[in-house]
Amino acid sequence: MQTRHLGRRGLEVSALGLGCMGMSMSYGPPADKQEMIALFRAAVERGVTFFDTAQIYGPFTNEALVGEGLAPFRERVVIATKFGIGIGPDGRQVTDSRPETIKQNVEGSLQRLRTEVIDLFYQHRVDPSVPIEEVAGAVKELIQAGKVRHFGMSEAGVQTIRRAHAVQPLTAVQSEYSLWWRRPEEELLPTLDELGIGFVPFSPLGKGFLTGTIDEKTTFDKTDFRNIVPRFTPEARKANQAMVALLQRIAAAKQATPAQIALAWLLAQRPWIVPIPGTTKLHRLEENLGAVSIVLTPDDLREIDRAAAQITIEGARYPEALEKRTGL
């Protein structure tokens, strides 16, 4: 497995990480615990060193799963988790990045993850009620206390990133990025390049769509988040098959799969990009990891860009209420 540096603050990880959220929520019922523990072991054996979770995944159960699954390999892996989204009295998610809450959150995460230090601690979503300087200051104190190694942010706008970075330098920013969601190219990637911050794309396979295994006839479990995503209506899925067809054409020429081409394309965008595709299946893990060895030439990349520019993606990536919580 190749490795990459996330930004310029010394954090080296495998070129592909493993997003763990789907093991516990959002894509149907939680996966079998023992099967996921076996998947963690398989991932580490294949060179994966970067694992992504959050306190709200489950909530809390995903951190506990990651902690148990990676405990035998703790010194060999980098664990990223997130603070700033909690559960309110009515059971709904709420943003809360008050410094006192962050310091409570870190103690719970450390316990669930069975570790003495969190390698990368992201603010999960910007909290408009708390100045970002206070958030960055709280994480800075945790770093000074030895409870956190690196600071990150998720789905934050560039001005907020700059303000946070001035207080506590950021190691990584996480946002959605793939061939069917390219907004980070407009402002985010140039800013991260300037500041020396790494980039971690989540949903690099378009929530599964870019694998070529989903069409307008696909049905999802009643608990699957994609049931409420505008981009996953049957009409949008039918229209968006054009992007899958593009990936399939490139994949055939490279003796690869559409998923591998989608990931290889991301890896080719910048040397400090580390995608975190999620899966609960060993054969999908192995397929995804195969993307690291695929070389897309400059001509390949130009062909993909030319063809993608002719495709209009139908449907918003989030329901309106969730999109408002992002800083992009």
Contact 97, 127 (CB under 8 A): yes
Distance of CA 182 to the CA centre of its chain: 15
What would the two tokens of residue 139 be?
A: 């994480």
Q: Which of 27, 57, 122, 177 is catalytic?
A: 57
Q: What DSSP letter does each residue of 267-320 carry, written as one string?
A: HHH-TTB----B-S-HHHHHHHHGGGGPPPPHHHHHHHHHHHHT-PPPS-SS-H
Based on DSSP, count helices (H) and strands (E) in the chain, helices before strands: 12, 11
Contact 120, 78 (CB under 8 A): yes
Between CA 21 and CA 289, with CA 284 as vertex, the angle to 5 degrees is: 95
* Residues with Cβ within 8 Å of residue 41, at least 6 apart in sequence: 69, 72, 73
122 is known as an active-site residue: no
DSSP β-ladder status, 93-95 and 85-87: antiparallel
Q: Tokens 């059971």 label which residue?
A: 91
How many CA atoms does the CB half-sphere of 189 hold within 13 Å? 17
Contact 168, 140 (CB under 8 A): yes
User: So which residues are the catalytic ones?
Assistant: 57
